[in-house]
Structure 1
Amino acid sequence: MANLNQIVAVVDDDESVCRAIKRLLRSIGIKAETFSSGEEFLGTLSSTASYRPACVILDFQMPGINGLELQRRLAPTDLPVIFITAHDDPAVREKALASGAAGYLRKPFNDAILLKAVEIALGATPIPVSTVVGNRV
């Protein structure tokens, strides 16, 4: 099971996606904080010295800073990044993974797949798939 003190940051301009992922992570004991843009997330990261999420789930296509640019800016922090995107482009996927992304998931995705990616990024013991409700994010 995941460390209950860990926080996962979810960065997506779609509020319903943020809510769904936050609810899903909460169902297995992981706290999530949501951000509607890369700028908002970077602002919190730079203005709050004690804020350090254990993992970042981020949308690729967002207004302002896109996912690849946000990943580039986060590289010095060594935060694990999991991409989620509705616009799968093999070149973008390859670039994200080559730049160190812990995962790259195409929307809509199965809850169990997202949870597995988060567990891997956090280095947590995997939860049984049977504990995951069959919702889709």
Structure 2
Amino acid sequence: MGSTGQFVVVVDDDKSVARAISRLLRAAGITVDTFTSGTAFLDQILSQPAYLPGCVILDVSMPGVDGLEVQRRLAGIPLPIIFITAHDVPEARDKALSAGAIGYLRKPFNTSQLIELVRSVMSA
């Protein structure tokens, strides 16, 4: 991925979920890059300033660096974040949204809602 803002990143430790979201977005004409850990994504974005997606879809619960920690470490980088989670914990939701997340969806989520949210961010 080289073009700043012209792609979406999906970060989910469950490879099947990451693949399914990627397929869904690609079918909608959206370019996607995937990572299966918060650490791998942070390494990429912090080591290459030109690597700047238009939107990040982050799983809340991941081993090691979870989604909320990824969001915290990216503070200051203008990056729209949509959280996805299998376990809707109100405290995590409040923390994510108060830190600037543009969405917080519970798995299984409405696929058209996710696509609309991503498209609205990518066209802004």
TM-score w.r.t. structure 1 length? 0.83
**Runs (4+) of structure 1 moved beyond 6 Å?**
none
SS of the residue corresponding to residue 57 of structure 1 reads strand
Partner of 2:110: 110
Mapping 1:34-45, distance limit 5 Å? 34-45=34-45
Q: CA deviation at 1:14?
A: 0.4
Structure 1: gaps (5+ residues): 125-137
Partner of 2:23: 23
Give, in whole Å, the separation in 2 of the partners of 1:74 and 1:123: 21
SS of the residue corresponding to residue 108 of structure 2 reads coil
SS of the residue corresponding to residue 76 of structure 2 reads helix
SS of the residue corresponding to residue 79 of structure 1 reads coil
In percent, how many aligned pairs have the same letter? 58
Give, in whole Å, the separation in 1 of the partners of 2:119 and 2:75: 20
Verify: 1:14 aligned to 2:43, yes or no: no
Partner of 2:70: 70
Mapping 1:30-109, distance limit 5 Å? 30-109=30-109
Q: CA deviation at 1:115?
A: 0.8
Give, in whole Å, the separation in 1 of the partners of 2:104 and 2:121: 12
Structure 2: gaps (5+ residues): none
Give, in whole Å, the separation in 2 of the partners of 1:43 and 1:72: 14
Give, in whole Å, the separation in 1 of the partners of 2:97 and 2:49: 28
Partner of 1:132: none
**What RMSD, in angstroms, separates the aligned Cα atoms of the two structures?**
1.3
Q: What is the CA deviation profile of residues 30-83 of structure 1, one whole-angstrom value per residue up to 9, with x for unaligned ones?
A: 110000101000111122232111100000000011111111111211100000
Quick check: which has more Rg, 1 or 2?
Answer: 1
SS of the residue corresponding to residue 65 of structure 2 reads coil
Give, in whole Å, the separation in 1 of the partners of 2:35 and 2:44: 9
